[in-house]
Structure 1
Amino acid sequence: MEMKTPRTALVTGGLGFLGQAVAHSLRRDGYRVVGLGHGQRPAEEIRAAGFDRWVCGDVSLQLLSTLEESFELVVHCASNSAVGYSLAHPHEAFLRTVQSTADLLEHLRSTQSRALVIYPSSAAVYGAAQDRPLQESDVPNPVSPYGVHKLITEELLAGHARHFSVRVAIVRFFSIYGAGLSKQLLWDAAVKMSSGQKTVEFWGTGEETRDWIHVQDAADLIARLACSDADFFLLNGAAGERVTVRDVLEKLRAALGLDIDIRFNSMVRPGDPRFYHADVSRLKTLPWQPRVTLEQGLENYANWFKASWSK
């Protein structure tokens, strides 16, 4: 019987929250997965993280040229992942997000690669918007350097698709969450709620909206898109559910089993949009749908948090 050589995928930012989930989904689908990013781990930990090979370093032309690999798929998760960091360190954030993408695209162009590049972008490109489902055709209006960098990166990818025949899929993910994410709203809220205080205060009014997607659903969506033969497409990645910040914090409080008072200071934190709610019409045309409900995801998150956090 003839043995087929497994397809090979490169996942940049591989040890990040989304990167590891993507690696597991791709390996489940039969890919040989090469990871690129920061951090050295023992071989057994690299394997447990979903990788067949690990390369430690920045996403740069120099390092990419040393890989001596050809890829059918590249999932480019490497980037700055926080609005706050982009405000405090805009140049470093630009290098992590935009420059890394420029180097990756130049490598693919110069090697005449036909790999599909899947880019996990962000709803941050929409920025300031009305309280309605956001469509991919909406004019971007980012309110932070993070959102600006994501938008520039999208334009780089679209340009290389047009001019250099690089195959590209862009997913504007909304609020990705799940066990293991030790930053952003849910982590900060869980820490505050578990501090022993009877009243905890948060930014905003509580009526701001978000659209949550579990990390496993996000990774499975990326794995599904890997089967596409399209040259370029862009779509929202979300559950399509409008959820207020107040509602999600109350659900998290219940999942943590706490009896505390949640209040809001009515102040806007720099870089925070008021409304994020996705139109998922394009997404619904794919043979994919989210499997983890917000209630299930928050319960799992709360259990992980209680097991891993110490005061």
Structure 2
Amino acid sequence: MDDSAKVPVLVTGGAGYIGSHAVLALRDAGWPVAVIDNLSTGFRWAVPDDVPFFEGDIADTALLARIFTEHNIGAIMHFAGSIVVPESVADPLKYYDNNTSRSRTLIQAAVEHGVPHFIFSSTATVYGEPEIKPLTEDDPLQPVNPYGMSKLMTERILADISRAHAMNHCVLRYFNVCGADPAARSGQSTAGATHLIKVAVETVTGKRDHVAIFGCDYPTPDGTGIRDYIHVSDLASAHVHALSALIDRPERSLTMNVGYGRGFSVLEVLDAVDSATGTTIVRKQEPRRPGDVPALISNPARIHEVTDWQPVHDDLETIVCHALAWERKLHDMRRNS
């Protein structure tokens, strides 16, 4: 893409885990970037000093108007939201507020200010409890928890808006995001994170004394849940490629899976962490968590057909090593603060 086509991008939730990596990927590729984040789960230090930062909520329409105008925003990457499946079952109103209602406010503001491109951080949980097979974007959408439903509702809003207004969009349905920036510029930093590899490396570094395995009676080969684990930097790169695809074809909107197309069970992941670190993680079996499903594996054919995105960190040991390097850096940062 010609540099003249690189519009200023507003990254919502850009101080969080995935959002901060998207900011790095955009900057590395030469895109102008601004960030809005209310810092409820993000960190101000995760945003580079030379990136305009606005502490606030995506429901603050006055702040959004100011950002759109001052920075001539031409695209939005929307990561702000809540992401913990069991919490969504316990507190569904929080998820319909954060993930659906506030997204609707953001989308309305984008339409009113003529922002032409919108990329939405969705999730594989919109597929519900599917067969154990690679999922295509055309498989049935039957979320079994409020997190998945709150994301699907926003997908539907975007589809309707793109038909009614001059804004195209891309929905990216993530599978299990993991790892950290290879240069250790950012990583998963939220206290109490539930991501399996994050929990595992916290155990390796002594922050936890064991890893809980939630459910050992799923209809899978070893009884534990199977997921398609994708490195966060590859995911961030997919967003940049998706944005280029929207700009190249403004009449077209897209929905695409982002994963590697193969799954690992919980036990296989923990074995990989043991192998990569030379440790033996203490494992404790626990009951299934509400809202979890047996398996989620992507068929990423569409994103490869539509864009030239190619993952470069598609290796479980590499993912573990990057996550562990970040965990050790994070430990040093907190000890020295």
Q: Give the TM-score normalised by the residue count of structure 2.
A: 0.82
Q: Is the 8 A contact 1:121 1:173 kept in 2?
A: yes
Question: What residue in structure 2 maps to residue 223 of structure 1?
Answer: 240
Q: Percent identity, please.
A: 27
For 1:162-181, what aligned pairs fall within 5 Å after superposition? Answer: 162-179=163-180, 180-181=187-188
Q: How does 1:52-91 map to 2 (within 5 A)?
A: 52-60=51-59, 61-67=61-67, 68-69=69-70, 70-91=72-93
Q: Which amino acid aligns with 1:149?
A: S
CA distance in 2, matches of 1:119, 1:269: 26
1:207 is displaced (CA, Å) by 3.3
Q: 2:290 aligns with which of 270, 291, 296?
A: 270
Superposed CA offset, 1:100-136 (max 9, x none): 211111112222332x101111001112111111110
Alignment of 1:22-61 (within 5 A): 22-39=22-39, 45=45, 48=48, 52-60=51-59, 61=61
CA drift of 1:299 comes to 1.6
* Whole-Å separation in 2 of the counterparts to 1:196 and 1:63: 38
The residue number in structure 2 matching 1:97 is: 99
Could you tell me which residue of structure 1 aligns to residue 197 of structure 2? 186
SS in structure 2 at match of 1:119:
strand
Amino acid of the structure 1 residue aligned with 2:91: H
Q: 1:147, CA displacement in angstroms? A: 0.6
Alignment of 1:1-311 (within 5 A): 7-39=7-39, 45=45, 48=48, 52-60=51-59, 61-67=61-67, 68-69=69-70, 70-114=72-116, 116-179=117-180, 180-182=187-189, 183=193, 184-192=195-203, 201-205=212-216, 206-228=223-245, 229-230=248-249, 231-260=252-281, 262=283, 264-265=285-286, 267-285=287-305, 286-292=307-313, 293-309=315-331
Cα distance in 2 for residues equivalent to 1:27 and 1:194: 31
**Offset, 1:306:** 4.1
Q: Deviations over 1:232-255 (max 9, x none)?
A: 110100011121121111111222
**Distance apart, 1:156 and its partner CA:** 0.7
Deviates more, 1:82-91 or 1:127-136: 82-91
Contact kept in structure 2, 1:136 and 1:234, CA below 8 Å: yes
In 2, distance between residues paired with 1:302 and 1:128?
Answer: 31
Please say if residues 134 and 262 of structure 2, whose CA atoms lie closer than 8 Å, have aligned partners that are also in contact: no
Separation of aligned partners in 2, 1:109 and 1:198: 49
Offset of residue 14 of structure 1: 1.0
Change (3 A) 1:294 1:106: same
Amino acid at match of 2:174: F
Farther off after superposition, 103-112 or 255-264: 255-264
Can you list the C-alpha shifts for 1:246-304, whole angstroms capped at 9, x where unaligned? 11111112223213454544x32101111100111112212111100221111221233
**5+ unaligned residues in a row in structure 2: which ranges?**
181-186, 217-222, 333-337
Structure 1's unaligned 5+ residue stretches are none
Give the SS at the match of 1:165.
Answer: coil
Moved more, 301-310 or 273-282: 301-310
Give the aligned length.
303
CA distance 1:273–1:6, change in 2 (3 Å): closer
RMSD: 2.7
TM-score by length of 1: 0.88
Report the more deviating stretch, 269-278 or 251-260: 251-260
- 1:106–1:275 CA distance, 2 compared to 1 (3 A): same
